[in-house]
Amino acid sequence: MTADAATLSAQAVAAMQRLDALGLNRGSTGNLSLRCARDGRDGMLITPTGVGAEELQPSQMVWVGLDGDVQGDWHPSSEWPLHRAVLARRPDLQAVVHTHSVHATALACLQRELPPFHYMVAVCGADRVPCTPYHPFGSDALSAAVAQALGDRQACLMAQHGLVAAGATLAQAMRVAVEIEALCEVYLKALAVAEPANLSAAQMAEVLQQFKRYGSARRR
Ligand SMILES: [Zn+2]
């Protein structure tokens, strides 16, 4: 493993443990990938299948080329085709986080998108988080549906399944995952009372502009 891959693997393990600690993933559900070239070939490091965050070791991360070539001692997550599809289609993204977090998954089970009911929905880089139709996990159909639903966004829901969040950095992908899960919880609570009002396209466009201007941390 190169030094770069070792660093990325350690970061991936820490992120998986944080998702577990935050309650976004349980047991061996959920997975995470980081873009990582090897010998000049485009690819990713992805979490292994069937290993919970508590016992996950950096050495168990699996390298998978964007051409589908799998290298490593462990089997990659069964959902690796989905990660590959996102990273292949979006060269601007470095990290993909997938969770079965309770509230995002509940909304996905209703086959409903997360609409612009709150300005923070813009954290996904658009005015709503769409929900793909149902396809079996690990299938090419699901990978294609996720890549299409993401478009130029950074999050989507998958019907009867869960959440996909992505970022230009791992920290950004984690921030999107945590925020969208929290927003799904608020949305479901509001929905239990009445259908929440939505912000207009113009209002969301203004928020998206402001996020572009003020979105990153700045030292004064
Ligand atoms: Zn899944």
The residues near 78 (Cβ < 8 Å, ≥ 6 apart) are 49, 137, 138
Q: pLDDT tens digits for 162-207?
A: 999 999 999 999 999 999 999 999 999 999 999 999 999 999 999 9
pLDDT at 215: 59
For residue 164, report the distance from its CA to the centre of ligand 1, in Å: 9
pLDDT band with cut points at 50, 70 and 90 for residue 219: low
Domain ranges of the chain: 3-214
Closest CA to 131 of 157, 97, 102: 157
Q: Which helix (H) or strand (E) holds 205?
A: helix 201-214
Contact assessment for residue 169 and residue 94, using Cβ atoms and an 8 Å cutoff: yes
Q: Which residues does the annotation mark as catalytic? A: 79
Q: pLDDT tens digits for 75-85?
A: 999 999 999 99
Would the pLDDT of 217 be above 70?
Answer: no
For residue 29, report the distance from its CA to the centre of ligand 1, in Å: 6
CATH level 3 topology of 3-214: L-fuculose-1-phosphate Aldolase (3.40.225)
On average, the pLDDT of the chain sits at 95
> What is the radius of gyration, based on Cα positions, of the chain?
17
pLDDT at 214: 73
For residue 181, report the distance from its CA to the centre of ligand 1, in Å: 15
The alpha carbon of residue 105 and the mean position of all alpha carbons in its chain are separated, in whole angstroms, by 13
